[in-house]
Amino acid sequence: MKLEKVKIGIIGQGYVGLPLAIEFGKKHPTLGFDINKNRIDQLKKGVDHTNEASSKQLLNSEFLSFSSNINDINDCNIYIVTVPTPIDEFKTPDLKPLRAASQMLGEILKKGDIVIYESTVYPGCTEEVCVPILEESSNLIFNTDFYCGYSPERIVPGDKINTLTTIKKVTSGSTPEIATFVDDLYSSIITAGTFKAASMKVAEASKAIENAQRDVNISFVNELALIFDRVGVDTQDVLDAAGTKWNFLKYKPGLVGGHCISVDPYYLAYKAENLGYHPEVILSGRRVNDNMSTFVANKMIKLLIKAGKQIMGSKILILGVTFKENCPDIRNSKVADVYHELKEFGLEVEAYDYEADSKEVKQEYGIQLLDEIKDTYDGILLAVSHKKFSTINIESIKQDAKSIVYDLKGFLPRNQVDARL
């Protein structure tokens, strides 16, 4: 297949799929597909609620169209799958969206078609899980009638500097020839260049360890925060001092949520355990990070008690519920865990986040966001460092002189806070 002959169907139009559709749509006929009709209707109007793309970007992608009708992608010859790969309540891979997408594509797959997966998976998943579904539902033979590729997504939601085209792309294919084609395809849009991995399994593994490494590093400074809280020193003061050495890695403590860092390590651990190895470091890091919400809630209670506040009925304001700053993404937000933990102590807890979609937050976490801050509070917890939070007059929303401010991000001026994580 030649690049000038491709017609691309991108399955899933979320944080990963939409930027891909926009960039490919500048060069090749591209159809952005999503089963969510409301999402497609919005995109057709030039509206992206994730804030990853502007109306101008959507309209400037000359060869891009959108649809929620499976029949509209029948004539595509390249399919790129960008569906979510979450974990279930037992912290094991939930491959239902990936299986469903593979089943759907298998029913329309034709000879010569290529299916490229971008969804984060464990090493071997594409060939062990997706390919058999494609073969069974299409009655075609893998690497004879159709082919596969894997190119892990590296998009960071909310990051307007390190975008899709400026991050080097890892690519791979099910045969050497397909690997070269997939690499050439992505090279047509990625200005930072590409890296052709030795195999699809290698490409899958590379993605899993990117986020597992970051998770472990964050868990280390989170554990330091737990230790230094007992020592009685400010963790960020210690990190600032240690960071003066050139080879010190400058990670900060915090709540670890989102669609990647708090999920992907479990995929790698799942595969390892299936092969008879119990990963120690990866899972210990996960335990530390998963328990930070409880630590934060307990610390808030201790600060209120120390200030002489009565716990039952005290009013608390949480600033920010998204999993990171300056974006509306609420996936796997650990702030919600803090909210519910504080409620269990008998506190009256409210939350404000101008970035997040109120309906989504209510549906996902049962939290009704404030439209604006009108009240005063016994305690203020800054959980997310959204840019506009710097303009809030913290003193004006404190109930009295004993009200406490707990800053998890080291974002507010030091003289305005009682404690930092």
Residue partners of 62: CB distance under 8 A and separation at least 6: 25, 26
Q: Which ranges constitute the DSSP H helices of 319-357?
A: 335-344
Rounded Cα distance between 8 and 69, Å, is: 15
**How far, CA to CA in Å, does 247 sit from each of 122, 132, 215, 250, 285?**
31, 46, 19, 9, 22
Q: What is the distance of C-alpha 377 from the center of its chain?
A: 31
Instruction: Specify whether the CB–CB gap between 187 and 28 falls below 8 A.
Output: no
Find, among 317, 305, 306, the residue nearest to 379 by Cα. 317
At 7, give phi and psi (nearest 5°): -130, 120
What ranges make up the beta strands (E) of 153-248? 169-171, 194-196
Give the side-chain half-sphere CA count within 13 A for 70.
Answer: 11
**174, 149 Cβ separation under 8 angstroms:** yes
- Please answer whether residues 134 and 105 qualify as being in contact, where contact means their C-beta atoms are separated by less than 8 angstroms: yes
Active site residue 130: no
CA dist 73 and 75 (Å) reads 6
Give the DSSP letter of residue 32. Answer: E
CA distance 149 to 202: 12
Catalytic residues: 260
